[in-house]
Amino acid sequence: MMRSWAMWPLLVLLFWPLHPSPRKPVPAPLPPPPTVQEGARLYHRACLSCHGPRGNGEAFVLMPNGQAAPRLDQLQGTAKTVPHLMQVIGEGRGLMPAWRTVMTPREIQSLALYVASLNPASPAWHGWAGHPRHSTPASFR
Ligand code: HEC
């Protein structure tokens, strides 16, 4: 009798590896999508000094050549499209540095969405003090 009781711990140990693990593998969370809101936050940190708080060229600093950075709220044609903005912001232009050295591709896309929304011609325009919307109209993509 005593011997069969003593078998129990051994049986448990033997079958323990077959016991289903209570912890299920958690899938990695998806990275957050680029948003106008994130673009606005980044703009006010990295771009405002040169392009102005409203993106209209009211710069706080001038370029070494005494010129102000161009306004970003009246870009025309392809200059106002998100893919083009991503290219210019990422690679830099003239006296503007290449932001891809300090920003992730998603952050650059958010910035492009925000700059596109600065244009009053944009149906996504939110005004400089408004609440940016998520959508980007087809003509700005
Ligand atoms: C050091 C000042 C400076 C900062 C900071 C800066 N820019 Fe610029 N940016 C410039 C200058 C100068 C130009 C014009 C370059 C040229 O055409 O020679 C420019 C051009 C641009 C253009 C192209 C406009 C056009 O005419 O097509 C975009 C878009 C732009 N900047 C976006 C940004 C964004 C977004 C940020 C923040 C991540 C930023 N800039 C930060 C100085 C700056």
pLDDT tens digits along 106-128: 999 999 999 998 887 776 666 54
pLDDT one-digit tens code per residue, 67-78: 999 999 999 999
Q: 98 Cβ partners below 8 Å, 6+ apart?
A: 90, 91, 92
User: Does the pLDDT of residue 19 top 80, yes or no?
Assistant: no
- Inter-residue contact 89 to 63 (CB < 8 Å): no
99 lines ligand 1 (CB under 6 A): yes
Instruction: Kindly state the average pLDDT of the residues 39-43.
Output: 94
What is the spatial distance between Cα 110 and Cα 14, in angstroms, rounded to a whole number?
55
Q: Which residues pair with 93 in a beta bridge?
A: 96
Specify the amino acid at residue 106: R
pLDDT for 133 equals 46
94 lines ligand 1 (CB under 6 A): yes
Give the Å distance between the CA of 51 and the centre of ligand 1.
7
Determine the atom of ligand 1 nearest the C-alpha atom of 99: 38
pLDDT for 3 equals 67
Number of H helices, E strands in the chain: 5, 0
Tokens of 11: 């049986």
Instruction: Kindly state the average pLDDT of the residues 42-65.
Output: 91
What is the spatial distance between Cα 55 and Cα 70, in angstroms, rounded to a whole number?
9
pLDDT for 63 equals 92
What is the spatial distance between Cα 106 and Cα 104, in angstroms, rounded to a whole number?
5
69 lines ligand 1 (CB under 6 A): yes
DSSP secondary structure letter of residue 103? S
49 lines ligand 1 (CB under 6 A): yes
Q: pLDDT band for position 132 (50/70/90)? A: very low
pLDDT for 129 equals 42
What is the spatial distance between Cα 58 and Cα 51, in angstroms, rounded to a whole number?
7
Mean predicted lDDT score pLDDT of the chain = 84
- pTM value is 0.77
Homologous superfamily of 33-140 in CATH? Cytochrome c-like domain (1.10.760.10)
Q: pLDDT band for position 91 (50/70/90)? A: very high
pLDDT for 110 equals 95
